[in-house]
């Protein structure tokens, strides 16, 4: 499969994929992203890493927001799979997790995670994250 | 210090302050709820205020292993659901969404507490298990149980550790 086009350099709204095993958390993140004032295109959802891979294979996604601890396929396993696959080199990667340990953050750096958001977070944190991502698009 | 001392199983009551701090952080930042302490002698009376409970159990592994149980009075869980998603306060979610809320609340408190206590070490959280406690079997009052109120409604938390 050829590399998918992303929002990088195009100036168009970001398509985002939210990966969390909590449907409520996905709803909350989706709601907050819609209130941030940053142009957002389509918002996709997945309940674990395996579902996220399926979305990436079928949709154009610019930014990935993923939890870490999930059943079936964790966020770390998802990010490793993305690294190894090589089809999505420009995908902007963000972790949103309750785990803010230094060990986990170091692991995220190795997996080319651009931003790391600890739960709980205030809605304005998401605005800052999206503004940061938009500045790279 | 001997290695036996280094590997002793922690006493949950030693962590009550840091657990309360994590609870406050989660409640205030994500749920716009305020936590008030409850004196141990008033714990039984406060717990009896709840008509029913939803309890999340979050098992953790890593620097140390164990489980965190968080029980919320059911009307409180409904209130927190609306706060979290910015809905009308009167909106009553179905059980699936309510259980999801309580599980995520427990997940956030446990993760926030572990982040404070594990420092540089890594930990893993299992998927929260949520159950409804019958009104005739409320959480047991004991020293290890941390009882608080959130927005004036009862909540309690118990930390247990695996044997070192």
For B39-80, how does the pLDDT look when each residue is reduced to its tens digit (9 = 90+)? 988 988 998 888 899 999 999 998 778 999 999 999 999 999
CB contact under 8 Å between B101 and A21, yes or no, is no
Question: ipTM greater than 0.90, yes or no?
Answer: no
What residue segments make up the domains of chain A, in order of their start? 14-131
CB A24 to CB B30 under 8 A?
no
Average pLDDT per block of 10 residues along chain A, 137 residues long? 42 91 94 88 97 98 95 96 95 93 90 93 86 80
Domains observed in chain B: 9-152 (3.40.1550.10)
Q: Per 3-state DSSP, what percentage of chain B is helix, strand, and coil (rounded to 5)?
A: 40, 25, 30
> Which site among B28, B30, B54, B60 would you substitute to test the A interface, given the most A Cβ atoms closer than 10 Å to its Cβ?
B30
A122–B97 CB contact, under 8 Å: no
Determine the 3-state secondary structure of B88 from DSSP: coil
A131 C-beta neighbours (distance < 10 Å), count = 12
The DSSP code for B126 is P
Closest to B123 measured CA to CA, from B107, B99, B103, B104? B107
Q: Any CB–CB contact under 8 A between B9 and chain A?
A: no
Instruction: State whether B121 and A31 contact (CB < 8 Å).
Output: no
Considering only the beta carbons, identify the residue of B100, B104, B120 that sits closest to A102. B120
- CATH assignment of A14-131? 3.40.50.2300
Q: Interior CA angle at A96 toward A85 and B12, to 5°?
A: 120
pTM beyond cutoff 0.90: no
């Amino acid at each position: 499969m050829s590399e998918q086009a992303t929002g990088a350099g195009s100036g168009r709204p970001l398509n985002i994929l939210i990966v969390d095993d909590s449907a409520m958390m996905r709803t909350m993140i989706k709601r907050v992203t819609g209130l941030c004032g940053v142009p957002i295109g389509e918002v996709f959802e997945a309940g674990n890493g395996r579902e996220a891979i399926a979305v990436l294979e079928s949709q154009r996604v610019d930014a990935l927001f993923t939890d870490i601890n999930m059943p079936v396929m964790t966020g770390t396993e998802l990010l490793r799979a993305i690294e190894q696959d090589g089809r999505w080199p420009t995908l902007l990667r963000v972790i949103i997790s309750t785990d803010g340990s230094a060990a986990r953050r170091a692991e995220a750096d190795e997996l080319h995670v651009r931003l790391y958001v600890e739960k709980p977070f205030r809605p304005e944190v998401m605005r800052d994250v999206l503004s940061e991502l938009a500045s790279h698009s | 210090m001997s290695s036996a001392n280094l590997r002793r199983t922690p006493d949950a009551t030693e962590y009550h302050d840091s657990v309360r701090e994590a609870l406050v952080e989660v409640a205030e930042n994500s749920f716009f709820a305020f936590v008030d302490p409850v004196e141990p002698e008033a714990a039984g009376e406060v717990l009896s205020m709840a008509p029913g409970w939803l309890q999340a159990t979050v098992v953790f592994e890593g620097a140390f292993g164990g489980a965190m149980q968080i029980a919320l009075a059911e009307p409180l869980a409904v209130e927190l659901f609306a706060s979290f998603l910015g809905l009308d306060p009167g909106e009553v979610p179905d059980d699936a969404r309510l259980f999801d809320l309580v599980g995520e609340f427990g997940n956030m408190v446990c993760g926030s507490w572990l982040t404070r206590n594990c420092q540089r070490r890594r930990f893993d959280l299992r998927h929260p298990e949520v159950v409804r406690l019958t009104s005739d079997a409320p959480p047991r009052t004991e020293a290890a149980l941390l009882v608080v109120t959130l927005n004036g409604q009862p909540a309690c938390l118990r930390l247990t550790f695996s044997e070192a």
